[in-house]
Structure 1
Amino acid sequence: MAMTTNKTHCFICNKDKITYPCEGCSQRFCLMDLTKHRQILNNELNHIINDYKQFKHRFTEQKPNPRDLSLIDQINQWEIDSIDKIKQRAKNCREIITASLQTCMNDIKMKFNELNKQLKQIKNENEFNEINLNYLRNELIKIREELNNSSIMSIEQDSQSFINEISIISLEKKPKFKKWKQNAVTMAGGKGQGQKLNQLHSPRAIFIDKKKNVFIADNDNNRIVEWKCNAEEGQIIADRNEQGNGMKHPTDVIVNQQTH
C-alpha cells in the first residue's frame, strides 16, 4: 500500500514539499523558504520602522515655516486695521448723534423761552380770551411732543461690510476618491478548493479571450481549465496523466486565439 503524501508545490523552489501557507501573500512555502520569506518580511518591517524614526526626528526638529509666520503677521495686521476702522466708524456715529441731539435741545429751549415770554406778557396785561388760551395750550403740546421725539433717530446696518473680509485658502490639492461600488460575479470556481470541474486548487494565472472565456492555470491540480462564459463548470484543456507525465504545477497560461 502506497503511503499518502501531503506534499504541495513550493512557490519559491518550485518543488513538491510539505508546505506552509502565508496568509499575507496567499502563497505556500516549504519550511526553508518560509523561513527566508519571513526574514524578508522582517527586513521590510525594520525598513519601515527606520523610516518612521527618521520622519519622527525630522518632525520633532522642524521649525515653523517662515511663510506661515508671515501669514500670521498679515492676519494680525488685518485685525488691527479692521478694529481701527470700526472704532473710527463708531466715533463718527456718536458725534453725529450728539450733535443732532444738541441741535434739537437748543431748538426746544428757544421755543420754550419764547412761550415763557408770551405767558408772562398775557398774564401781566391781563388781556386774553379762549383763542389766546388755545394757542398757548397748542404751543405747549407741540414743544412737549418735540421733546418726546428728540430721539427719533435709529441705527441702520449696511449689509455690505466696510472692512475687507479674509479667508484661508489651502494650496494643498487633495485627491478626490470616488467610492467603489461592487458590481461583479464569480466567473470560475467559487465551490471551495478541490479537483472537481467546478473547483480550483491554488490557481496562479488566468487568460481571457475575445469571447470572454477564462483559461486558468490550476496549479495544485496540475491542469489548465477553460471556463466558458456563464458556464457552471470548467473543462480540462491540458493536465497530468496517471503516469505523471504532462502538465505539472502550471504558473501561467497564454492562449493562441487564432488556432483555439
Structure 2
Amino acid sequence: MIKKVAIIGLGLIGGSLAKAIRRYTDLNIIGVDVKDDYIDEALREGIINEGFKKIDRPIDADVVFVCTPVGVVINCIEEMLPHLKDGCVITDVGSTKKTIMDAVKGILPKDKFFIGGHPMAGSEKCGFYSSNSELFFGSNYFIIPDEKTPDNVVEIFIDEIIKKIGANPILVDSYSHDKIVGIVSHVPHILSAALANFAYREDADAIKFAAGGFKDSTRISMSQTEMWKDIILNNKDVIKKLIIDYENLLNEFLFSLDCDDIKSLCEFFDSAREIRKSIAS
C-alpha cells in the first residue's frame, strides 16, 4: 500500500500531479523544487505536507515522481538514490523513454524499483502557477516498467495513483513509446515551430493577418525551448526517420500538384479530415 509520495519538480506536470494526488487520494506528499515560491505556495495551498529545495536528506516516500526536464532525469535519480528507503518505486514523467530506461538499468540497486511513465497531458504554459488537478483526467498515461520491477508493484502503482487521478494507463515498451510520441507529439511540435519560422521568413508582415488556423497550428511552438531541446535530442533517431517520411508525403503532394491530379489532391484532404474526425476530442 502506498502512503506517501515525493514529487521532484513542481512545474506544470509535477505541480499538477501534486494537486491531483491531493484532491483524489489520501496520500501524504513531499515536494522538492529549487524555487522557493513554488514550495511556499504549495505549502500555503495545502497541496504538499512538507517541502524543501535540495535532495540532501532522507526521503521517506513509497513512490518518487521525478518531474524534471528529460535531460537531468538520470542525474536526479543518481543524486537521490542514497536518500531513498528500501522498496521505493521511482518513476519519471519524461517525454522520451528508451534513453532513460537504458540508463536506469546501470544505476538502480536491487532494493529499488523503476517504472517509466509519461502522461500525455500538458500545455504550452509552464510552472506551478499553471498547474491544475484535472490535467490528467481522461488522458493516456504511458507506463513502461523496468524488467526487474515485479508485476504486483506496477499494479499497485497504477491502481493507487494513476487511475485515481483520472488517467488511462497504457503499458508499452520503450521503443514503441518513443515512436508513438515521435509521431503524435515530437514531430508535430517541430512542424509547428517550422510553420512559424517559415511564415516569418517568407513574409514577416503577413503574420499580422494570421487568423485561427495559423494560430491553432503554431500554438505549441510557444512551449519551453529548453525542455523541447532535451526531448528532441533524446529521441533524435526516431525523429529523423519520421521527418524523412513526412518529407516523402509532401513530395507526393507536390507531384500530385504538378500533375494537376485532382483525384489525389482530394484524397489527400479527405483522408486527413476522416482521420481527424476519428480522434476523440
Structure 1 and Structure 2 fold alike (TM over 0.5): no
Of structures 1 and 2, the one with the larger relative CO (CA 8 A, separation 6+) is 2
* Superposition TM-score tier, normalisation by shorter sequence: under 0.3
TM-score by length of 2: 0.18
The TM-score with structure 1 as length reference comes to 0.19
More helix by share: 2
Larger radius of gyration: 1
